[in-house]
Structure 1
Amino acid sequence: MNQRQLEAFRATMRSGSITAAAKLMHISQPSVSRLISDLERSVGFALFVRAGRGLVTTVEARRFYQGVE
């Protein structure tokens, strides 16, 4: 887990989407997706569930977010 992954996670939580997080971070959407996937592997649980074209935040992600904020 690194700072950039946490930044992508925070931006996604705050904005509600990976696309919006990418705009906030001034990086591409695939880069944010990769950072989130790497963070999920690092922490050992899913942070988001992909639902159609959107994201649903998991219970674990909400708990994790409280810890990193």
Structure 2
Amino acid sequence: MKNDLTVPEAINDPMIRILNNADRISERAFAQLMESAARVTQRGTRALEENFSKETLVRSQA
């Protein structure tokens, strides 16, 4: 079972649109926010994976 929405799914979700309209957030602004958050999250995930790999390598060599 899938729990998370993809960026396009979140942008097009009817409930999220209702909330964004109530908060006066444009579709474009919300899309930019979601895309930016996805990029930051992806960079963070890669950095964690790289650090974990380095730590694992260092520990295995000790």
- Do they fold alike, i.e. is TM over 0.5? no
Higher strand fraction (1 or 2): 1
Q: Tell me the TM-score range normalised by the shorter chain.
A: 0.3 to 0.5
* Larger proportion of helix: 2
Q: TM-score, normalization: structure 2?
A: 0.38
Higher alpha-carbon Rg = 2
